Structure 1
């Protein structure tokens, strides 16, 4: 193989350097492959348990009444994420759209939204009302509060405790770093944060923005106490 690369104009020194890099990453790639294989089997078993069949691909009336394929797809997702139900529709165009639906469906005038992991995606600023926008949650009387992460990336538990009040209805936890430099949150860390929040206010809704996070671990935020898990589903589940 090395001789073939040499004949293609690749210097032996370049080949050796690249080969060493690849070998140093073998354990990391094996770990990724193991997670992928586990989740592949989880999805296949969910499809089997919910009897995905050719009938699921029949044309729909468009109204969604008795849409066997769509109903089965949502059962599969609920099975995978261990939730009571799931809402998986092509009409939800992206992660921001899905998050907007989740927030708007659960927050009412006078409620407060709390982000204990700093500022969310830029695309949500107008939805929440951080940046003034017609139709924002702020325009409907929903207030917003956030607690930034500490400099080392840890949760600021003291200030999170202070921020939670009688009006705190929903806590949103963005799993991905998005456009920031903070670390992406593991499911384990998310579970610890949810446990802390629920210990202060058990009835608060803990919603995890799971965009980019589906299937990168063997468990999901709904396995560690999240009440809702919201993602675009066009990245890992759709593209991967």
Structure 2
């Protein structure tokens, strides 16, 4: 039996949907070739770091208790620093999410009287309570006397360099944050080229100010990382790109040695810092996940490119377009109604390896202002490097899809989602 016949018989995909997807796939072959080139370069970079640090079976063991002198943990942090082009890094299973990693950076670097400046407009929803834009009593930056400002984006969603330069006149600004991913905003995710001009402007006007990039969803998408174009600090989650689909939990931050040390005191306690933190058997997953990450990210990117082309053909507004240069693995599709948004997410869920039988429904997800519908059939709970799609139940009713451990499985989810929409 041919693949087409099997998929159509087992999943009920219409011939029309399958034909549309096949045409889309042929049109994006050039983009796939470019993705493969980047993945190969990044894979060699990771292999070189493993080799230089003489990774062996001994590094894959575990520590307990305080975790003093954990060889695997300490060496992995040196590998992250080398690959991401930084002086130092923290890679810990005790960092529970990308939001936690970013929060640790903010509280580790900023002090009462300082101001945090967002150069990329409003931040991702889960940062609002950390900043103090909503909620109270949780110990936000605002409650600790740390100010916040944001630079509105240009109409096309690009960084407003003129407004950024003016905002830097505020001498209380100590840290400028750039969010690489779009979050739940309808704007482009930023490539390194997009961020490079902003970082150069900041360094020119205020060399005393630190630049932090929220690198979630962006690792290994390009051949360089933000510190290699001037960022002082990056942070992200291991159940996104750098965990390669194998890390069971965790987060990382990497940057200038002094900043990482400051943040380590926030992560544990002053005087202790990075010296403690048992790996508890996580080293093997983290090492293998980081090794797999360039390839896994390429699979996710191919799935995203196919999604863009398929839904563009179906008449929906997509961001980015299939041919656009990408800054992260996220693909946005604007549906204009909650019914279509939910149908898309339910199709993605149906093609997932775990909980494919579950029908996603909107719910009050912690840290979000609006109800969110989320398709997430993952081996690791919440791992968005695996196939997932979600979106807030609010206009313009856009879905944000990411991940795909293999292109073949990601393609099936795209077929199911497209078929749902074509049958409405």
**TM-score range for the pair, normalised by the shorter chain length:** over 0.9
Assess, with a 3 A threshold, how the Cα gap between structure 1 residues 223 and 15 changes in structure 2: closer, same or farther.
same
Structure 2 SS opposite 1:231: strand
> Residues 52-201 of structure 1: matches in 2 within 5 Å?
52-133=55-136, 134-164=138-168, 165-201=170-206
Structure 1 SS opposite 2:242: helix
Assess, with a 3 A threshold, how the Cα gap between structure 1 residues 19 and 123 changes in structure 2: closer, same or farther.
closer
> Residues 223-238 of structure 1: matches in 2 within 5 Å?
223-238=228-243
Assess, with a 3 A threshold, how the Cα gap between structure 1 residues 16 and 2 changes in structure 2: closer, same or farther.
farther
Q: Does the CA contact (< 8 Å) of 1:5 and 1:15 recur in 2?
A: no
Query: How far apart, CA to CA, are the structure 2 residues paired with 1:57 and 1:3?
Result: 39
Query: How far apart, CA to CA, are the structure 2 residues paired with 1:79 and 1:110?
Result: 34
Query: How far apart, CA to CA, are the structure 2 residues paired with 1:130 and 1:176?
Result: 20
Q: What's the TM-score once normalised by structure 2's chain length?
A: 0.53
Which deviations, in whole Å up to 9, do the C-alpha atoms of 1:6-25 show, x marking residues without a partner?
9x779987766544322111
Deviant stretches of 4+, over 4 Å: 1-6, 8-18
Q: What's the TM-score once normalised by structure 1's chain length?
A: 0.92
Structure 2 SS opposite 1:207: strand
Query: How far apart, CA to CA, are the structure 2 residues paired with 1:43 and 1:76?
Result: 8
RMSD: 2.1
Deviation at 1:121, TM superposition (A): 0.8
Query: How far apart, CA to CA, are the structure 2 residues paired with 1:4 and 1:168?
Result: 57
Q: Which residue of 2 aligns with 1:202?
A: 207
Greater relative contact order (Cα < 8 A, sep 6+): 2
Aligned length: 239
Q: Does the CA contact (< 8 Å) of 1:99 and 1:231 recur in 2?
A: yes
Deviation at 1:161, TM superposition (A): 1.8
Structure 2: tracts of 5 or more residues without a match = 246-295, 297-424
Deviation at 1:157, TM superposition (A): 2.0
Which deviations, in whole Å up to 9, do the C-alpha atoms of 1:102-151 show, x marking residues without a partner?
00000000000000110111111111111133200111110000011010
Query: How far apart, CA to CA, are the structure 2 residues paired with 1:72 and 1:85?
Result: 11
Assess, with a 3 A threshold, how the Cα gap between structure 1 residues 3 and 189 changes in structure 2: closer, same or farther.
closer
Structure 1: tracts of 5 or more residues without a match = none
